[in-house]
Every structure is written in structure tokens, then in C-alpha cells.
Structure 1
């Protein structure tokens, strides 16, 4: 167990590299990710056009071995389509798992209250949160739950898992 915890700590350090300031490449990656989501499922347009705001995570890297896993990613937060800050996401999973993968995720905020809750800096999505895998037409039958709607799209990798976990987000305002 001790070896697993040390290995997980090492993986999290690799994913959690520190960077200061605004990186224009992050914003460009977020815009490309938005384009991919719109192309894959045009019905997402109703979320983009009506949401008060959204957080775009271009690449979330996730890995697991045996009974513990985790992941990390960074993103850009938008209010009315304008970038207002940066965010990070950290994942922790417990249960049988093996492999690694990268995926993109967009979280839509229905109203100002939902976005304000996220930008407080300690927002969490539990294992029960409904994350919809993007496929053409999937957004048509999806709605907000507690003011948020979450969509994910696999980028690369393969991972077998039967886990329980959650996602924790941070927020840093400004450009």
C-alpha cells in the first residue's frame, strides 16, 4: 500500500507542474477544443449560446494501477463567451483499474449562481455527477443538473476501470 501511495504521489507531481501567468496557448487549445465539441455534436450549440459560462479542459490526463488512480488537467473559464480565468482539475479514483487516457471536458454553467459557485475555487463533481460522452445528438436529450451540464470527449489512450471517485476544481481569475 505504501508503494502505491508513493507511486500515486509521483504521478500527481508530474501532472501538477506549476506555471505562472497567462499562457496564450492554453486559450488557443480551449478554442480548438470548443470547435471539436461543436463539430462532434452540433446540438451542443444550445449550451454554448444559452449558458451563462463554461469551463473548457482541453486535456485531462488520467491513469490508474490496481486499486488507485488519479489525473490532472488545466482549463480556461468563460463568462458569456469571454475568458475570465484559469482552472485546474484533479481526479482521484479508487477501485480496480489499469491504464491511462486523455480526454477533454466542458462544464456548462446555467446561470450566474452556478458560475459563482465554481469560481469560489473549491468546486467538486462527485461520482454521481452525470458526465455525458459526446456523440452526435447526445446533447439533445441532456439538461442541467444542479446548474451544471458536463460533457467529455476521449482524446487518446485506453483504460479499464470500475471505480468510484470525483473531480475537484480550482479557479484563478484574470488573464
Structure 2
């Protein structure tokens, strides 16, 4: 039985990109909805996003794990309020993890130099090509001031499902073409 569960999970992980891949029109609608939800969630985050050099929005990042795990999502980069490029995020991991989860991620590039480095890369890996601070939001919707000193800050919200082990380390962000 355990082997069957592992085989099913592994096959799910290898098919994950096609499962979560969306048509451009559908993806754009989900991105707009995620931004709206983000702005409703934290006024400080909205102000930070307005001042950021760039904003990368992944409306749905699906993650599954049972010893071996993986995640995948598609989104878009905004510069000066305009969609400029589509990206995917993907990662794989081994270790203690079990469950399935879906969440939204917004990554803000607070410094132009960090955005430039990201855009010039041919696949940017969190923790290798640049570090990303996970924003801690207080009860009043305020962001931890220590987070604001970082050049790249991520917001993770709208978790659906249960998953132990929240980290963006090792996530690879790659340009994609949407039709």
C-alpha cells in the first residue's frame, strides 16, 4: 500500500506542470484576483507593492509531498504596473513532508538592482541567485520592519490544505511563453 501511495505521488509530481498550467486568459484573471486578495489582506503590502521596482505574482502554487515533494505554479512579472513577462516556479525536495497544499505568492523586488539581476537571469533560483525574505505580517496588517530592509520580499497567502515545511528556498523561477 505504501508503495502504491509513493508511486501515485511521484507520478503526480512529474505531471504537476501540466496539471497547473493555465491558458493566458485564465492565468491573467487568476493573477488579477490574487493581487486584489493581497491588497485586501494588507494595506502595508499594497503600499510596498506600489513602491516596488517589480512585482512577481503566482496566483496558485501547488505543492505535494510524501517524503519526496514538489511544487509548481505560473505567474507574471509586473514592472510599472504592466505585465512584462510570464514565469513558472518549480522545486523539488526530499525530507519530512506530507500533504497537499495550494497557495498564492507575491514576490516584490524592492531594489532596481535586484529586479535587473532577476530579469537578466536564465532561471533564477531562490537562495542561490538571490535570497528572498518571507514577510511577517502582524495582527494590524503591518509588515515586520526587519523585512523591509531586504531587496526581495515574498508574501505567501491563501493557503488551502495542510503542508508542513514552508520555504521558497530552492524554487527555480523561469521565463515561460503563454498563448
- TM-score where L is the length of structure 2: 0.79
Correspondence 1:70-109 to 2 at 5 A: 70-109=70-109
Cα distance, 1:35 vs structure 2: 0.7
Q: Which structure has more strand as a fraction of its residues?
A: 1
Residue 143 (str. 1) matches residue 144 (str. 2): no
Q: Which deviates the most, 17-26 or 165-174?
A: 17-26
- TM-score where L is the length of structure 1: 0.81
Instruction: Give the distance between the partners of 1:19 and 1:112, measured in 2 at CA.
Output: 30
Cα distance, 1:21 vs structure 2: 10
How many matched pairs?
172
Cα distance, 1:19 vs structure 2: 10
Residue 152 (str. 1) matches residue 153 (str. 2): no
Correspondence 1:11-26 to 2 at 5 A: 11-17=12-18, 23-26=24-27
Instruction: Give the distance between the partners of 1:171 and 1:91, measured in 2 at CA.
Output: 15
Work out whether residues 91 and 167 of structure 1, in 8 Å CA contact, stay in contact via their aligned partners in 2.
Answer: yes
Cα distance, 1:130 vs structure 2: 2.6
Correspondence 1:49-88 to 2 at 5 A: 49-65=50-66, 67-88=67-88
Task: Return the match for 2:133 from 106, 130, 134.
Answer: 130
**CA distance 1:83–1:34, change in 2 (3 Å):** same
Cα distance, 1:140 vs structure 2: 5.2
Work out whether residues 61 and 72 of structure 1, in 8 Å CA contact, stay in contact via their aligned partners in 2.
Answer: yes
Q: CA RMSD in A?
A: 3.2
Give 5+ residue unaligned stretches, structure 1: none
Instruction: Give the distance between the partners of 2:23 and 2:112, measured in 1 at CA.
Output: 24
Give 5+ residue unaligned stretches, structure 2: none
